[in-house]
Amino acid sequence: MNEQPAACRIHVEALAPAFQPQAEHWAQRLDLPLQGGDGEFALQVGEQGLQLQQLGPDAPGPVRVDFVEGGAAHRRLYGGGSGQMIAKAVGIAQGVRPRVLDATAGLGKDAFVLASLGCEMSLIERQPLIGALLEDGLARGAEDFDVAPIVARMRLLKGNSIEVMRNWQGEPPQVIYLDPMFPHREKTALVKKEMRLFRPLVGDDLDAPALLAAALALATHRVVVKRPRKAPCIEGPKPSHGLEGKSSRYDIYPKKALKA
């Protein structure tokens, strides 16, 4: 995703006086104004943590990262475990839990699923506002008895995904997972809500070929790219095969077999 937000007006606000110090903290960190007048987006701090709210009469509800309740909790408890397509795509099998880098972390949903299945996860989200939501969600997850062991396997990295991969320090990831923003239009309410927020901020991943090239250079065992089911492959080397679901597919670029 683009590193800098598109030209839109964003301010930080506390939803109650008790949260003013936290609002000031985030405003300073993200170099955003406090309590701006009319704007397009508000980064809000309240009882449920940090959330991004689009402003205006037809705006959808706020977006936040919540690993404790809602969809993340339901998928953790009832999502199908290692039989899920994403688990098969990254190579999870009996005795195999690869080290995975999610280089397009977004709200961390896929990374949380893989961490809940036992993978050690590194995450990169280069858009600062979304990275802040993710950081806040991880911090709140660490305070929950059931979720804390899962988020302990999730390490958030800062910076441009391509640069971080090109200058990787330490043991490289076995698998790199990519889910680049793609200029498509889906109809579901959830996607519509998040995309209405994200597209003005991040745009599309026009550097997806460079992202794929950096991932292929760094991963030791495979690269997995999530795409809309009917979308073309990312420009560059072709995947050896894919796993296809109802709305999305996983293009798989193998380098070496994952073994127990």
- Let me know: does 72 contact 64? Beta carbons within 8 Å: no
Distances (CA, A) of 256 to 63, 174, 219, 220, 252: 38, 9, 10, 7, 12
Residue type, 18: A
Residues 166, 159, 88: CA angle, nearest 5 degrees: 70
Q: Is 58 annotated as a binding residue?
A: no
Q: Is 13 annotated as a binding residue?
A: no
- Let me know: does 55 contact 42? Beta carbons within 8 Å: yes
CB atoms under 10 Å from CB of 21, counted, come to 10
- Let me know: does 207 contact 162? Beta carbons within 8 Å: yes
Q: Is 179 annotated as a binding residue?
A: yes
Binding-site sequence positions: 125-126, 179
Binding-site sequence positions for S-adenosyl-L-methionine: 125-126, 179
